[in-house]
């Protein structure tokens, strides 16, 4: 591996993870983000200052609560297909992916007193809720190699693939990370029935990825789903030991409803905190916690205060 696989968040220490930036920019800040891409903001000094402030909010929260934090690069949509739709060339895309890591690396350097992990975020090739064109493993491997190869030359500590909808794409991502000696984590998104958008059970998806990659993924997460969507699938089975993270939505609505919504459903931060804390109490290996769509630092604070107060 490029980095020591014993990364600081592979421990019992709590780590904060926030991936709700794009939703917050669109609904709370009024930004127009074509293709839901935040990385073009890296070209504008005023927008970079705004991104800097969001990252530092997370770091301040971690510092105040005595936990670590994961800084995810603003590159969820920074792959070839999504960039092409925005008129961004392959060369420009490479620059964006490198700059996204250099940006968070500089923020980490400014905050040496907080344990910070630099996560190179990879998103799905297709829609993050309802993929229309499913790839086989080889296609997914070839596709994601391009972005992961770029990250392998940066200061990123690991690859984090978020909002992945089906096992074959996850396998391709893990294999691409293996090729370039990068540690990798996979975050699957779930529907209201607790299954992946393709209908596969989460434990079956994890088993399939592990079987095809010799368990090469460092760990798995659930993201972009509300706790009520997956409570019924947590059966305490051995597969759950591979699950280290919950990065949850504020709203309990389905993805289809959220896609059609014109207003942001912020849910109930206090209730969300209690729900996540209960999962952590029952399954203490879940040490990477945080918020996805609809959440902000209120939700993040509520989650970690509930977890810490429950100890």
pLDDT, tens digit (0-9, with 9 covering 90-100), for 243-280: 999 999 998 877 777 666 667 778 899 999 999 999 99
What is the number of domains present in the chain? 1
- 195 annotated as ligand-binding: no
In a domain, 189, yes or no: yes
In a domain, 7, yes or no: no
In a domain, 231, yes or no: yes
- 69 annotated as ligand-binding: no
Task: Write down the pLDDT at residue 260.
Answer: 62
Q: For residue range 58-95, list pLDDT tens digits in order.
A: 999 999 999 999 999 999 999 999 999 999 999 999 99
- 69 pairs with which residues across the strands? 16, 116
If DSSP states are collapsed to H, E and C, what string results for 171-234?
HHHHHHHHHCCCCEEEEECCCCCCECCCCCEHHHHHHHHHHHHCCCCCEEEEECCCHHHHHHHC
Task: Write down the pLDDT at residue 262.
Answer: 65
Domain range for 299 is 15-309
Residue 108 has which token pair? 């980490």
Q: How far apart are CA 228 and CA 246, in angstroms?
A: 12
- 253 annotated as ligand-binding: no
Backbone angles phi, psi at 234, to 5 degrees: -80, 95
In a domain, 4, yes or no: no
Q: How far apart are CA 28 and CA 298, in angstroms?
A: 14
In a domain, 5, yes or no: no
Write the CATH number for 278.
3.20.20.330
Task: Write down the pLDDT at residue 259.
Answer: 66
In a domain, 93, yes or no: yes
Q: Is 18 helix (H, G, I), strand (E, B) or coil?
A: strand
In a domain, 185, yes or no: yes
In a domain, 3, yes or no: no
- 16 pairs with which residues across the strands? 69, 289
pTM: 0.95
* Residue segments in the chain with a per-residue pLDDT below the cut of 50: 1-3, 5
Q: How far apart are CA 104 and CA 102, in angstroms?
A: 6
CB atoms within 10 A of CB 247: 29
Task: Write down the pLDDT at residue 6.
Answer: 55
Task: Write down the pLDDT at residue 3.
Answer: 44
Task: Write down the pLDDT at residue 254.
Answer: 73
> In which residue are the tokens 């935040």 written?
38
Task: Write down the pLDDT at residue 18.
Answer: 97
Q: How far apart are CA 231 and CA 272, in angstroms?
A: 13
């Amino acid at each position: 591996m490029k980095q020591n696989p014993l990364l600081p968040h592979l421990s019992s220490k709590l780590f904060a993870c926030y991936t709700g930036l794009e939703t917050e920019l669109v609904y709370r800040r009024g930004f127009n983000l074509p293709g839901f891409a935040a990385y073009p903001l890296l070209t504008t000094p005023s927008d970079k200052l705004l991104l800097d402030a969001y990252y530092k909010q997370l770091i301040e929260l971690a510092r105040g609560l005595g936990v670590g934090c994961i800084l995810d690069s603003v590159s969820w949509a920074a792959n070839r297909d999504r960039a092409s739709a925005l008129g961004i060339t392959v060369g420009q895309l490479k620059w964006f992916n490198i700059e996204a890591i250099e940006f968070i690396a500089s923020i980490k350097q400014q905050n040496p007193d907080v344990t910070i992990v630099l996560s190179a975020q990879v998103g799905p090739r297709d829609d993050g809720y309802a993929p229309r064109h499913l790839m086989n493993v080889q296609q997914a491997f070839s596709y994601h190699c391009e972005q992961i190869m770029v990250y392998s030359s940066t200061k990123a500590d690991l690859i984090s693939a978020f909002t992945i909808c089906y096992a074959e794409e996850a396998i391709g991502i893990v294999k691409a990370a293996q090729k370039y000696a990068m540690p990798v984590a996979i975050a699957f998104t779930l529907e209201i029935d607790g299954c992946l958008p393709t209908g596969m059970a989460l434990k079956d998806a994890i088993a399939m990825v592990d079987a095809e990659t010799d368990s090469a993924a460092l760990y798995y997460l659930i993201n972009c789903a509300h706790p009520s969507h997956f409570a019924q699938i947590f059966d305490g089975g051995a597969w759950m030991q591979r699950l280290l993270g919950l990065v949850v939505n504020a709203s309990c609505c389905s993805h289809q409803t959220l896609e059609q919504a014109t207003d942001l459903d912020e849910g109930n931060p206090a209730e969300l905190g209690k729900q996540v804390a209960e999962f952590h109490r029952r399954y203490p290996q879940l040490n990477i916690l945080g918020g996805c769509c609809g959440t902000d630092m209120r939700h993040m604070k509520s989650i970690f205060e509930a977890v810490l107060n429950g100890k």
